[in-house]
Amino acid sequence: MKGFKEFLRVQGVSEKQLSHYVAWVMNYADFCDDRHRDYWGEDSIQAYMKASGRLNAEWKVSQAEDAVRQYIFWRKGQKESLYVSLLKELEKEMGAAANSFKTLEAYMFWAEKFLLWSGKERGWDFDDFRTFIKVIVADQGVSIASQNQAISALRCFFEKVLKVDLASKPQTLRAKKLKVLPSIMSRELIRELFQYLEGVDLLLVKLMYGCGLRCGEVYKLRLGDVDLRKAMVRVMSDKGEMKREVFLPKGLCLELKRHLIFVKELYLSDQGLGLSGGWEEYYLFPSLSLSRV
C-alpha cells in the first residue's frame, strides 16, 4: 500500500487520515471476497456503501467511499502503465525480429485487446489465452483469418514478453477453413436474375455466366480479347499474359455486335480528344465518365 499512500498524499489526504483510508480499502476487499463480488464494479461499491451506512456515521461512509474510489482510480492508472510497458516491450521484440509494420500493428492490436479483456496485472496463463480466443470467436464472431492472426499475436506476446512457454498448445486452437464446393445456381434462378437486369448490366452478367468469368475479369476485357468469328474470349492476367481461353456462347455474339456499335462511338469520341490508344486495346466495357487506356 506504499504506492497508494503516496498517491493519497498528492491528492491532499492528511497523514492522520492515511491509515483510515487504507483500512477502508482493506475492509472493502474483504466485503467483496466474502460475497464473491467484483472489486471494480460500481454495483459492488454501492452495496458496500449501503452495508457501511447501517453501522457507521455519515461522515465515515463518505470517507469510506472516497477511499475506495481513490484506490480504484489509482489501481487503474497503475494497470494502464503496466499495459503500456508490456506493449512497448512487444513492439521492441517485434522490431528486433524485423517484422513488417502491418504485422506489428496487428499483433499490438490483439495484445492490447487481450490485456484489456483480462483486466489482470500478473499471472497470465494458457487458460486466459484459450478463453480469450473463445470469446472473440463465440461472442464477437471474428473470421477464421482473424482468429488465427489473434492466436499468432498472443503466442508471440506470451513467449516473447510474458515469458510463458506455451509449447504447441496454441496450435489446438487454430481454425481450419472448411472446404466447401461452390453451389451452382439453377437455370431457373439465372433466368429470374436476368429479368431484373437490362442493357450493359445484363450483358456483363450474361458474359460472366456464359463464359465462366470472374467479375474482375469481365471488367478488364479489351476489344482484342474477344474474337466473334471464332466465338472465343481470351482472359489475360494483370501482367499481360494469357491465363486461358473460353468459348463464347453463340447467343451472345449478336448482343456483343450491337454493344460494339455503342463502344465504337465512345472510342471515336475519346480518340478525338486524344484519350484512347488502338482499337484492340480499348476496353469492352469502357467507363462513360472517363475512358481508360
Whether the CB-CB separation of 151 and 162 falls below 8 Å is answered with no
Of the pLDDT bands very low, low, confident and very high (cuts 50, 70, 90), residue 225 is very high
CA distance 131 to 135: 6
pLDDT at site 150: 92
Tell me the β-bridge partners of 288.
Answer: none
If you average pLDDT over residues 162-187, what whole number do you get? 73
270 in a structural domain: yes
205 in a structural domain: yes
The single-letter DSSP state of residue 283 is B
**Is the pLDDT assigned to residue 182 strictly greater than 80?**
no
171 vs 216, residue with greater confidence? 216
Considering 34, 53, 80, which residue would you say is the last residue of a domain? 80
167 vs 150, residue with greater confidence? 150
For cell 462513360, what's the residue? 288
55 in a structural domain: yes
**Is the pLDDT assigned to residue 179 strictly greater than 70?**
no
Of the pLDDT bands very low, low, confident and very high (cuts 50, 70, 90), residue 176 is low
If you average pLDDT over residues 266-286, what whole number do you get? 84
Whether the CB-CB separation of 38 and 75 falls below 8 Å is answered with no
The single-letter DSSP state of residue 226 is E
Please give the tally of structural domains in the chain.
3
**Is the pLDDT assigned to residue 168 strictly greater than 80?**
no
Considering 125, 148, 173, which residue would you say is the last residue of a domain? 173
What are the residues whose beta carbons fall under 8 Å from the beta carbon of 291, sequence distance 6 or more?
266, 267, 270, 275, 276, 282, 283
pTM: 0.44
Q: Looking at 158-167, 175-184, 199-208, which range is the least confident one?
A: 175-184
Of the pLDDT bands very low, low, confident and very high (cuts 50, 70, 90), residue 37 is confident
128 in a structural domain: yes
Q: Which amino acid is at 14?
A: S
Q: Looking at 90-94, 183-187, 208-212, 222-226, which range is the least confident one?
A: 183-187
CA distance 241 to 233: 14
User: What is the domain extent for residue 169?
Assistant: 99-173
CA distance 186 to 208: 15
Q: Which amino acid is at 21?
A: Y
Whether the CB-CB separation of 268 and 280 falls below 8 Å is answered with no
Whether the CB-CB separation of 136 and 176 falls below 8 Å is answered with no
CA distance 156 to 164: 10
Q: Looking at 1-10, 63-72, 87-96, 235-244, which range is the least confident one?
A: 1-10
Of the pLDDT bands very low, low, confident and very high (cuts 50, 70, 90), residue 204 is very high
For residue 56, what is the domain's CATH number? 1.10.150
For residue 128, what is the domain's CATH number? 1.10.150.130
286 in a structural domain: no
CA of 3: how far to CAs of 63, 77, 132, in Å? Answer: 19, 12, 31
Considering 173, 207, 231, which residue would you say is the last residue of a domain? 173
Report the candidate in 186, 248, 181 with the shortest Cα–Cα distance to residue 212.
248
